Structures are given as structure tokens and as C-alpha cells.
Amino acid sequence: MTIEIPPLAPEIIEQLRKELGGCDFSGDHERRFLSATESCDVQAAPGNGKTTLLVAKLVLLSGIWMSRTQGVCVISHTNAAREEVQKRLSAHPSASAFLNYPHFIGTVTGFIDRFIALPYLRGLGWPLQRIDDDVFAASALSKLSSKPNLCSLSRNKPHAVKSWVARMELADDFERERNSQPTRLKIKKLSGQPRRETNSGRELEELKAEIVREGFYRFGDMIALAHQAIAKCPTLVELIRKRFPLVILDEAQDTSGPQLALLDRLFGEGTAYQRLGDQNQTLYEDEELGPDDYWKPDAGAIPLNVTRRFGAEIAAFASRLTVRAPQRIESVAAMRNRRTLILFDRGTIRDVLPAFADEVRTHWPTLTPGLDIRAVASRHRPAGESRGNWPKTLVEYFPEYRTDRGYRMRVDSLCSWLRQAATLNQVGSSPAEIVDLITFGIATLLRYEDDRDSNGQPVNKRNLWSLLAARDAALPLKLRCLVREKVLLGGAAWEAPAWNQFSIELMELLGNGTTTSPRARQFLNFTGPNEAAAEARHARTVFTCGELSIRLGSIHSVKGKTVDGILIVETEVWRRNQGVMDLETVLPHAFGLENRSFAHHAAQLAAATNIFVAATRPRQLLSFAMRKEAASEALIAAARHQGWNVRDLTP
């Protein structure tokens, strides 16, 4: 299929501007991407309107795309990015057609699973319950005690063994056992992992096969399945290229390693493969990967240097932090801003968040409803080790802070599944994610009871709610109300008496009375929370100061977002056994006191990337909190000279 975009006359650009919220697409670089019909790369500065530009291209194509069997494929790394594109397309009368067949808009894992890995998995006859790294790790670690050689090895290397077990992924050249379920599966070799010829190596491969037989997989397993599917069926590549003559990879910097290699193998030739991203925001790093395993824009990449998010002062500061791909970020207009450097010591670290709250009130004397104010850190979970410097994590600034992801759940317990759902509900996570956990837990319980739908298929996530509605149209709502009242808002997942009462009501509601299957009875038993899970029940991710609420989290949690104000607090960053304090490392370079090369020190590069991502989130208010002992007189003077407010909390 030949893609032909008509010349972008001024009236077309003006029409796009009107249809897409007044955005300006008249720049040379924007027009170059909109009219591109061949493969290309785009290096986009934060806040440049890249997502809107992508949608604008689809709006243009919606007027000329006639094929009913060939489509556009838009791939992103995260569900948040996917949902943003889908939301904007759904509001457009013609571009909304791209939400349906023959087009695809989804995540990279969704694309690989749907078109390659899962069809191949079904062909192998292997079961599938869930693809989830955390769930796989929980299942694998729960079985570790059954492997005597690994247990013996773990006495000397407890952390290493647990890491190997939790991260077992299929090797690309794993061998299939014909007409039978696997008993041993070759896995990728991790650093220090026993060779497969050893007893411990054999137990790892047997454990991997055991978990696969139960239907649990890591996301990386889908890549291995996809590679083998392509190797066994080479025509698959040509079929996919024919189906999608245009492929747009959004947030390309977040796709790396095996995922990126697979996409490049599929679309490196024979299709228009257009990759959009910002190399300076490469946050998702894997210590097993090298520099060449990450996306780098081609030399002829289209530069999008103009930001619409913040003004010239923040743009100039952020430009100093583009250490992976130097880029001068430009602002379209002068914007009101406030920049503050907060200095503290051990005695005043708890005063940092209240001081930032004062900065917010100074900038917005009358707090506007809906202000999005954040405080973030490179590390936000409690630190278990004593090595390194201080402060280690966000917890030391606000001891009550706890993330919802701080513990391993048990896959063999409905109580654990619903406890995780309750924890996510407590911290305001996505309703879809909460419902997914509830659905999977209830479906597993009914599957252990050997319940089946009208077609004789076992209960699973996809058919649970239709199966329940077929029994009683009101049953799905009744079940949701029960879980909401007793679990999400009550204490059933945390307290044995409340859980026992809930399980009785649950089974009566499902029409099963008392469970008959031993496996179902075991799955329904109460399992007490471990210490980390108990702490998660009282997770706090918001700091409140009067009427002002400041949302707390990791720098990863704000990636891709625009906020009104942000505080970045100093913590440690560790990579490849190297540790640095992020602000102590990065701010002297950012304020122009030195010209440091970060490329050859993994922890320093990670620190610079983290600070760049966080510092380019806010529209108006940017603040740092740094140990006073790490802030030289020259740094303080440079900050003041560049228009920063310096607030010293120390005596």
C-alpha cells in the first residue's frame, strides 16, 4: 500500500489547529513529520506537544485511508500513553476510525502478545493464567523451598538466588517438548547464575517449567515466544508488515533491549517505521543491558526543540541536563515561574515538605482548585541496606510515606489478591488495575471449583462477568458491592474474623455454598499479611498541610505528566554497584559550575536522567531540596545569580 499525504497547504494546517485545541503545527519540523511517509526518527523535547502531533498525523490520514484490511499501528510503552492517544482520537469524528480494525493502538507488550506470542503459546498447548513479573516472582519464590540445591546455595547467596528465581525468563532458543507439558525449560543466563549443567542450574530450569505449567509468565517470556514463532514461521514477518504499512512507535526511549530488537526486526524494512521519543528521558534501565540496547535517534532525526509546558528560565536550566542527547530546549513564550533551592541538614529534613508548602502558597497566594503539586525522589521506597550516604529515600523526608508496591503478594491466596486490590484502592490507583486483581482472584477461585461457562470453558478473567450475569443479571453488581464494602472499604483482607465472614457471604452469593475442592478451600483460606503488607495497609502517598495536598512518589510516577509545581528531594541512586547522591552529582553541572561527562558512570547518568525528567514536569514551580553540606558556596551563589530563591532551613 502506498501512503500519500497531500501537500500541507496553510488551510490544512489551520484546520488541524482548530480541530486539536489551537495547537500550532506550522513549524518546519512539525510539518516535516506530518508529511513523512517513510521511516524516520523524532527527538522531542519535554512538553513539545508530541502526542498532539501524533494525533494530528492520524487526523490527516483519516481523510485518505481507504483500505479495510491494512491499518496504522501505533505502539507505546505504557498504558497511560496508549490511553492518551485513544482519548484524543475518540473525540474526533473521522480519526476515531483508527480505534478499530484494521488498525492497532496499544502497548508494545499488547502488540507482541496479540499478534505473535499468544497465538504461538496456544499452539504449544501451554496454559495461560497471567503475564505479570510480580506475580511470577511471587509464585517462583513460594516454590524455592522445594529445590534443595538452590536452597543450599541460598545460604551463602540469599539475595542472588532470590533474584535469579524471581527473574527467570525463557531463552530465545528454548526447546519444546512435543505433545506434552514442559518439564525443563532453558532460561536466559543472568549475571552469576549457575550454569544449566549444574544441579542448581537444572533446578532453575525445572522450576521455570513448573511455573509455566501453572500458566504464569514474565513479560520477557513473551519476547522469547515471539522470537521462536518468527524463527519457526518466517512468513509471519511479511504478514505483519503487509497488515501495517505504517508503524508509529511512541515514547521510543522507553522501549529497549529485546523489545526494541524485536520491533526493529519486524519493521526495520518493508514498512514505514516512525519512532518518536526523547533519548534524555530514558528511565527504564536494565542492568543486564548495554548502551547500544536503548533507542538512539538517527543522525537525521527530526528535532522538536520547542516546549509549550514551561517558560524560558526552566527551559534553559533543563537544557543543561540533556546529557544523553544534547538539545537546546526553547520556550514559545514567557511564563510566570518560581524556582527555589531548599537547604537542610539531619535536624531539619522533616521541615522540607512544610517549607515547600510555603513556596506553593507564595507562588499561588490563593490556591486554585485542581492544582497538581508533587514531591518526588529517585528512590522512594524504604531502604533495607545501610551502605552509602544519607538521605537514602523519600521516607526520610516523610516517615509516614509508603508505596503500594512494597511487598510480594501470594498467588495461591484469594486473600492476598484482594489485599493488593485494597492497597491500590487506598492510594488511589487506577480502577481498571483494581478490578483486574479482583477479577483474577474470583475467577481463580471458581476455576478451582471447576465452574465453566455455557460453552464448557473454564472460568477466566475474560468470561467471569458474563458467566455470573448468565446465572443472575444482578450478580455482577452484587459481587462488586460485597467486595467494595467488605474488602476495599472494610478490613476483611487484613483480619481473620472479618475474612472468614466475607468468605461465607462470597460463596453464598456465588451459589457454591461451602467449597468442595481442596484446592479451592486452600485458596479461600485467610493468609495473614507480612510486615511489609501490614505497613501497606496504612500507605500514605499524600502530604497535607492545611488545605494544600502534595502528592508523593517516585520520579518514575510523574514521567509523561505535566504538573503545576514539583519538589525534587535529594536521595541516593544506585546502578551496577555504583552509588551517588543525585542532586550533589547533578546540580553543579546544571548550574554551569562544571561540564561533567556522565556517559561512562552508570549511577551518575541515571541521576542526571532522573533529575531531567522531574525538572521538566512543572509548568511554573520548580524546587530542589539538597543537603546543605553538599551545596558549595559557589553553587548557592550561581543559583541566586540565575534567579533562584535559596531557602536555608539549617540553624
Please say if the pLDDT value at position 536 is more than 90: no
For the whole model, what pTM was predicted? 0.84
What is the pLDDT, as a whole number, of residue 518? Answer: 86
Please say if the pLDDT value at position 178 is more than 80: no
pLDDT band of residue 165 (cuts 50, 70, 90) is very high
Grid cell 537514602 — which residue?
Answer: 392
Residue spans per domain, the chain: 10-113+226-304, 133-217, 312-401+540-648, 414-537
State the chain's mean pLDDT as an integer: 90
Share of the chain above pLDDT 70, in %: 94
Highest mean pLDDT among 36-50, 280-294, 419-433: 36-50
Please say if the pLDDT value at position 456 is more than 90: no
pLDDT band of residue 406 (cuts 50, 70, 90) is very low
> Which amino acid, residue 503?
S
The tens digit of pLDDT for each residue in 202-212 reads 999 999 999 99
Which residues on neighbouring strands pair with residue 569, listed in sequence order?
Answer: 377, 625
Helix (H, G, I), strand (E, B) or coil at 88: helix
> Which amino acid, residue 239?
L
- Which distant-in-sequence residues (6+ apart) come within 8 Å of 479 by Cβ? 442, 468, 506, 509, 510
- Kindly give the residue spans of alpha helices, DSSP state H, lying in 148-187: 148-154, 158-166
- Which distant-in-sequence residues (6+ apart) come within 8 Å of 18 by Cβ? none
CA distance 41 to 302: 6
The tens digit of pLDDT for each residue in 377-387 reads 998 776 555 56
Helix (H, G, I), strand (E, B) or coil at 444: helix
Question: What are the grid coordinates assigned to 516, written together?
Answer: 468442595
Q: Look at the domain 10-113+226-304 and name its fold.
A: Rossmann fold (3.40.50)
Q: Which residue in 77, 86, 83 sits closest to 109, CA to CA?
A: 77
Please check whether the domain covering 312-401+540-648 is classified as CATH 1.10.12. no
CA distance 46 to 310: 9
* Residues 276 and 301: beta-carbon distance below 8 Å: no
Share of the chain above pLDDT 90, in %: 66
What is the pLDDT, as a whole number, of residue 199? Answer: 95
The tens digit of pLDDT for each residue in 84-104 reads 899 999 989 999 999 999 999
Pick the residue with more confidence: 633 or 518? 633
Q: What is the dihedral of CA 310, 311, 316, 320, to 10 degrees?
A: -10
**Alpha carbon 220 to its chain's center:** 15
**Can you tell me the mean pLDDT for 593-615?**
92
